[in-house]
Amino acid sequence: MDWIFVATKTYAAEETAVWLAGTTARVAIFQNGVEHRERFTGVVAAEKMVPVVIDTPAERPTPDRVVQRGVIRMALSDDENGRALAALFEGIETEITLTGDFRSAAWNKLAINCAGVVCALVMAPNRVIAGAAIGGIVLGLVRECVAVARAEGAILPDDMPERVLRQQRGSSPDGINSLYGDRLARRPTEIDARNEVIVRLGEKHGIPTPLNAMAVALVEAQAAKDAEQGR
């Protein structure tokens, strides 16, 4: 085969890698976070990995139903692999950006994703972000993300926290992000890729990330409690 698309959850990367060992195909990694390559290093050759920032506002409220709230957007590196992948989607309703700064594109998406932990913590859809207090927490989570992103060499605008908050408040009030969806279904979560990575890399650079650290601790504690109760 010429291509393999990895569209699993980030927590399934280790299981997914078993299927990829020894492949000579190009591997497009459609996942959250900023560690697309790191998850498959040593399994897929570096020149065969094609990281993708994917933004598809879709939810699966039931196993047989998907609600898509907007167009599919992707960011790819502006190189041979990125252009080849983009060509596969010609004629399909997608918005594809070829960028010379994939790092910043990935951190831009993470700045949006990290705020979603609020809904997963209070177990409520987007409408909860309308409150002033919760809005302040969202701003704080994103500010921490931006500080770490810049230390990692990404370029994000100064008003990124405010942009994220406006976007969240402008989304459908009954919208459910994937982290909250996983919690509702009692599945594992992508908390490592969405918030804990900010804490880990913040520690590397000596940048405090107390809000993201607290969010990670609470989600993990809730998961442990659910497991103890057999849910």
Q: Domain ranges in the chain?
A: 3-100, 104-228
The answer to whether 3-100 and 104-228 have equal CATH topology is no
SS3 65: strand
Residues near 90 by beta carbon (within 8 Å), at least 6 away in sequence:
none
Q: Which CATH superfamily is 3-100 part of?
A: NAD(P)-binding Rossmann-like Domain (3.40.50.720)
The span from the CA of 124 to the CA of 155, in Å, is 32
Q: What pLDDT, on a 0 to 100 scale, did the predictor assign at position 176?
A: 87
Q: What pLDDT, on a 0 to 100 scale, did the predictor assign at position 231?
A: 59
Q: What pLDDT, on a 0 to 100 scale, did the predictor assign at position 205?
A: 98
Q: Is the torsion defined by CA of 173, 66, 164, 13 positive or negative?
A: positive
Backbone angles phi, psi at 138, to 5 degrees: -60, -45
Q: What are residue 40's DSSP bridge partners?
A: none
SS3 50: strand
- Assign a CATH topology to domain 104-228: N-(1-d-carboxylethyl)-l-norvaline Dehydrogenase; domain 2 (1.10.1040)
Q: What pLDDT, on a 0 to 100 scale, did the predictor assign at position 43?
A: 95
Q: What pLDDT, on a 0 to 100 scale, did the predictor assign at position 172?
A: 86
Side-chain-side CA neighbours of 39 within 13 Å: the count stands at: 30
The span from the CA of 136 to the CA of 72, in Å, is 29
Does residue 109 carry a catalytic annotation?
A: yes
Residues near 95 by beta carbon (within 8 Å), at least 6 away in sequence:
71, 72, 73, 74
Per-residue pLDDT of the chain (231 residues), as tens digits, is 999 999 999 999 999 999 999 999 999 999 999 999 999 999 999 999 999 999 988 887 778 888 888 889 999 999 999 999 999 999 988 999 999 999 999 999 999 999 999 999 999 999 999 999 999 999 999 999 999 999 999 999 999 999 999 999 998 898 889 999 899 888 899 999 999 999 999 999 999 999 999 999 999 999 888 888 875
Catalytic-role residue among 9, 48, 109, 225: 109
Q: What pLDDT, on a 0 to 100 scale, did the predictor assign at position 62?
A: 79
Q: Which residue has the tokens 């078993």?
A: 18
Burial of 105 (0-12, 13-18, 19+ CB in 10 A): buried
